[in-house]
Chains A and B, each alone.
Chain A
Amino acid sequence: MSSIVVQFLNGLAGASTLFLIAVGLSLIFGVTRIVNFAHGSLYMLGIYIAYSAVGAFGAAGALGFWGAILAAALAVGLFGALVEVLILRRIYQAPELFQLLATFALVLMVKDFVLWAWGPEDLLGPRAPGLDGAVAILGQRFPEYDLFMIAVGPVVLGLLWLLLNRTRWGTLVRAATQDREMVGALGVNQKWLFTGVFALGAFLAGLGGALQVPREPAQLFLDLTAIADAFVIVVVGGMGSIPGAFLAALIIGEVKAFCIGLGNVTLLGVEVSFSKLTLVIEFIVMAIVLVVRPWGLLGRPQAAQRAAPTHIEPPLRAALRGLAAGAAVLALALAALPLTGAAYTVVLMTDILIFALFAASLHFIMGPAGMVSFGHAAYFGLGAYGAGLVLLRAGAPMEVALAAGPLAAALGAAVFGWFCVRLAGVYFAMLTLAFAQIGWSVVFQWDSFTGGSNGLVGVWPAAWLSSKSAFYLFVLVLCGAGLAALRRILFSPFGYALRAGRDSPLRCDAIGIDIKRLQWAAFTLVGAFAGTAGALYAFSKGSLSPDLMAIPRSVDALVMVLLGGVQTLAGPAVGAAAFTWLQDTIARNTEYWQSLLGATILIIVLAFPQGIVGSLARLGTRAEAE
């Protein structure tokens, strides 16, 4: 009994932190309609800055400690304001995808900055002066600081309520949340309102981080764990709803606390480790809420947004005869590559081909079908693990294992996709990310089957493909066929219907097209293609690791597609080539590849939203016109 009470209190203390992160994300989304992927990074910055500030101000005195916490939160708020003014302001009119990516670029850059400034070691801060003891609750010791944390959530909720309901600024924020145009029409300076809201959201995230200093060490992966939690809470509670964020933080906080409290339990003879399943369980809570109430517990349905005219792509044109000939020449040239004896190039080209197929499979759903997935690596990973596990655990020959990869991926995509296609826009993106994260955490934690964080080794191809050149040719044939098939399907009635669904779901429904079903089929289909790429990748490297399906890999795929250009068919292949080559060249020479990648993303989003192929095509038409 007493342990249940303590578990419950633990949940409340955790909920406060979750609320601080999520409420800022929700506020920012409500006003700017931007889902700030970098919100977890702001939280992480809060911890690191607070750690240093406590050191500088002196942790012994209450004034020094609390001053440091506040200073850290303010610094993060200021950083948020800067980010808004320098970057976000330029992309409010951009498609959602670009906004998500721009903020993800910040994630990468902040991570490298933290690595550079504080190094890779975990940093544990001192305890809070005056709150460093424990009290006895029903005979169990409970930290005083956690009692303080329990109070923080409701206090911040109350202060925010006062701010939003009792001040003029708050009224404006609420008005902007309901109707952006109206505020603009009232002559309110929207720009500074947005900056203010972003700074407030950042401040809250920073505060959430800073307050964690006595509770947990500052670590480099906190950004992604925090953002995943914040997504779950904001989606469960309802985008833009502050009470919703509070309610959801309580639910998730408690669910997590009880999972950890349960520890290992034997269910039907199987030992289940609940403490390891926290991530899975909170995502399951989110999936259920999303299916039952797609707009969250206390949120309201979003009005459908029409694509701005500038984002409409031109009609598909059949390939020119020259293009087909060009493709044939390119294929021949690629097939001749091993003859040159450039071993390193052969390996690099194998990677490029595999990623070209992976990127093209993502492009298929995000471009023509208009479904932007932030978790596409899940199917790459499922393909890789499907193949690897069938090879290693079932002892099947490579040929069979290679077929099992896409099958596993398609199966996963069919299950996840069934939920995902019910949603659109940012909700779709968040749910795909959530499912990818579930997949990742299962693979990461299931030591006995998947090899856990260490992964598995010994995933080698059959003897006839053991040379790098033979395997390269094999990949060339499979990926080439895959790319050709995807392209062909885009020109088929099925592909057209998907584009129709993206352009006007209303019209689709009015001419008998069951668009959700087609989208589900497409999601499953591209899962198989991504799975093929994943299986080939596993065999090319000889090993498996959970990184194959982690969030950054999903983002890599998004960047490849964007780099090439979403609205072009050749784009994904070109983007994959450019990306893989750049990564290979740069990552070998610097520790800070991530921030370079981030900078690249920002440049694409701000300066070349059409991607490489799209920009070239535009140059071409301009030259023609002259």
Chain B
Amino acid sequence: MSAVLAVERLSKAFGGVQAVQGVSFALGEGELLAMIGPNGAGKTTCFNMVNGQLAPDSGSVRIGGVDTVGRPPREIWRMGVGRTFQITATFASMTVRENVQMALISHRRRLASLWTRAASLYRDEADRLLERVGIREQAERACSVLAYGDLKRVELAVALANEPRLLLMDEPTAGMAPKERITLMELVGEIVRERRIAVLYTEHDMDVVFGHADRVIVLDRGRLIASGTGDEVRDNPEVRQVYLGSRGRA
């Protein structure tokens, strides 16, 4: 099986801070991979290098076997990579439905159209996506008035709009109540199985991590310190040290 995403010896420094250092991992079709690590471990930086927002200092990123380093996010998106952000990025002056329609319009390359009404394009398709993530009834509301957890769902619907084969989710359940987190991750699991999408996600809630991921990788200060199944990682002494803080981190 060829990997949907293969990352090799990826590194990135900001000034003096080595945010990511020689990180390698791979991800196959239909697989849910959780990336965990304390704050500042370099998770978001990894995501940004995978989707093209940041250029790595060294290392390679291959998506479906194609090296994507140096391509802008919009091109990588067209290769079938959806993304949700740690701090949600939605179009605040548009309704929930319009946010999804925007992604569909871009997917179908209708952006340069000057005369059709955007609000009537791909409406049913957008509604089906909203239905899928459970916020169909909020379709007409402005994104600016949504609860944070619901915004995360909008982002998910937007990320699914181009039928991605790889989904990157940076803390998809942040800002949700514990029960809602479980429901959302179950939903993601279902969608992944249904569409055979590969998912890379980060998470701080350990229940969400161990209950839903097929595999887990652990980052600390930019380095990959462990990888394996949930149980293997949980029992890894180095991981326990990082999370229990017995190393006396500031």
A15 to B96, CA, bound (A): 54
Residues of B contacting A463 with CB < 8 Å? none
The answer on a CB contact under 8 Å between A511 and B53 is no
Q: Is B147 an interface residue (CB 8 A)?
A: no
Give the distance to chain A from B70, nearest Cβ to Cβ, in Å.
15
The answer on a CB contact under 8 Å between A511 and B161 is yes
What is the 8 Å Cβ interface bit string for chain B, positions 108-124, against chain A (1 contact, 0 not)? 00111111111101000
Residues of B contacting A521 with CB < 8 Å? 112
Q: Give the interface segment out of A110-118, A334-342, A380-388, A499-507.
A: A499-507
Give the distance to chain A from B159, nearest Cβ to Cβ, in Å.
8
| CB<8 Å pairs between A and B, sample of 27 | A307-B92, A309-B144, A312-B93, A318-B117, A489-B115, A491-B119, A492-B117, A493-B112, A494-B112, A496-B101, A497-B106, A499-B91, A499-B93, A500-B91, A504-B89, A509-B53, A509-B72, A509-B73, A511-B74, A511-B77, A511-B103, A511-B107, A511-B161, A512-B75, A512-B107, A512-B162, A518-B111
The answer on a CB contact under 8 Å between A493 and B94 is no
The answer on a CB contact under 8 Å between B73 and A496 is no
Ranked 5 nearest A-B pairs via Cβ: A507-B89, A503-B91, A496-B118, A509-B73, A511-B103
The answer on a CB contact under 8 Å between B119 and A506 is no
Q: Is A216 an interface residue (CB 8 A)?
A: no
Q: Is B185 an interface residue (CB 8 A)?
A: no
What is the 8 Å Cβ interface bit string for chain B, positions 45-68, against chain A (1 contact, 0 not)? 000000101000000000000000
Residues of A contacting B101 with CB < 8 Å? 496
Q: Is B195 an interface residue (CB 8 A)?
A: no
Residues of A contacting B89 with CB < 8 Å? 504, 506-507, 510
Residues of A contacting B53 with CB < 8 Å? 506, 509-510
**B interface residues, Cβ below 8 angstroms from A:** 51, 53, 72-75, 77-78, 83, 85, 89-95, 98, 101-103, 105-107, 110-119, 121, 142, 144, 158, 161-162
The answer on a CB contact under 8 Å between A314 and B142 is yes
Give the distance to chain B from A503, nearest Cβ to Cβ, in Å.
4
A585 to B105, CA, bound (A): 48
Beyond A314-B142, A510-B83, whether A493 also contacts B93 by CB under 8 A is: no
B73, B92, B107: the one within 8 Å of A510 (CB): B73
B74, B85, B94: the one within 8 Å of A500 (CB): B94
Residues of B contacting A312 with CB < 8 Å? 92-93, 144
Q: Is A447 an interface residue (CB 8 A)?
A: no
The answer on a CB contact under 8 Å between A513 and B106 is yes
The answer on a CB contact under 8 Å between B115 and A315 is no
B85, B115, B161: the one within 8 Å of A488 (CB): B115
The answer on a CB contact under 8 Å between A493 and B90 is no
A242 to B73, CA, bound (A): 36
Beyond A312-B93, A504-B90, whether A510 also contacts B51 by CB under 8 A is: yes
Residues of A contacting B78 with CB < 8 Å? 512
Residues of B contacting A493 with CB < 8 Å? 105, 110-113, 116, 118, 121
Residues of B contacting A489 with CB < 8 Å? 114-115
Question: Looking across the interface, which residue of chain B has its beta carbon closest to that of A489?
Answer: B114
Beyond A493-B121, A518-B111, whether A315 also contacts B74 by CB under 8 A is: no
Residues of A contacting B93 with CB < 8 Å? 312-316, 499, 502-503
The answer on a CB contact under 8 Å between B121 and A506 is no
The answer on a CB contact under 8 Å between A511 and B162 is yes
Question: Looking across the interface, which residue of chain A has its beta carbon closest to that of B77?
Answer: A512
Residues of B contacting A512 with CB < 8 Å? 74-75, 77-78, 106-107, 162
Q: Is A240 an interface residue (CB 8 A)?
A: no
Residues of B contacting A502 with CB < 8 Å? 93
What is the 8 Å Cβ interface bit string for chain A, positions 293-309, against chain B (1 contact, 0 not)? 00000000000000101
Interface bracket on A: 20 to 34
Give the distance to chain B from A370, nearest Cβ to Cβ, in Å.
10
A309 to B142, CA, bound (A): 12
The answer on a CB contact under 8 Å between B144 and A496 is no
Residues of B contacting A494 with CB < 8 Å? 111-114
Residues of B contacting A46 with CB < 8 Å? none
The answer on a CB contact under 8 Å between B112 and A504 is no
Q: Is A122 an interface residue (CB 8 A)?
A: no
The answer on a CB contact under 8 Å between A496 and B92 is no
Give the distance to chain A from B73, nearest Cβ to Cβ, in Å.
4
B95, B103, B110, B114: the one within 8 Å of A315 (CB): B95
Q: Is A179 an interface residue (CB 8 A)?
A: no
Give the distance to chain A from B94, nearest Cβ to Cβ, in Å.
5
A493 to B107, CA, bound (A): 12
Beyond A315-B95, A510-B51, A512-B78, whether A492 also contacts B144 by CB under 8 A is: no
Give the distance to chain B from A301, nearest Cβ to Cβ, in Å.
13
The answer on a CB contact under 8 Å between B73 and A318 is no
Residues of B contacting A510 with CB < 8 Å? 51, 53, 73-74, 77, 83, 85, 89
Q: Is A591 an interface residue (CB 8 A)?
A: no
Residues of B contacting A315 with CB < 8 Å? 93-95, 98, 142
Q: Is A482 an interface residue (CB 8 A)?
A: no
A513 to B112, CA, bound (A): 10
Residues of B contacting A506 with CB < 8 Å? 53, 85, 89
A512 to B89, CA, bound (A): 14
Q: Is A584 an interface residue (CB 8 A)?
A: no
A494 to B112, CA, bound (A): 5
Q: Is A514 an interface residue (CB 8 A)?
A: yes
- Mark out the residues of chain A between 278 and 324 whose CB falls within 8 Å of any chain B CB in the assembled complex: 307, 309, 312-316, 318
Question: Looking across the interface, which residue of chain A has its beta carbon closest to that of B161?
Answer: A511
Question: Looking across the interface, which residue of chain B has its beta carbon closest to that of A499?
Answer: B93
Q: Is A495 an interface residue (CB 8 A)?
A: yes
The answer on a CB contact under 8 Å between B74 and A514 is yes
The answer on a CB contact under 8 Å between B98 and A496 is yes
What is the 8 Å Cβ interface bit string for chain A, positions 472-492, against chain B (1 contact, 0 not)? 000000000000000011011
**18 additional contacts, CB 8 Å, given A312-B93, A508-B74?**
A307-B92, A315-B98, A316-B93, A316-B119, A492-B116, A493-B112, A493-B113, A494-B112, A496-B105, A499-B94, A502-B93, A503-B90, A504-B89, A504-B91, A510-B73, A511-B102, A511-B107, A518-B111
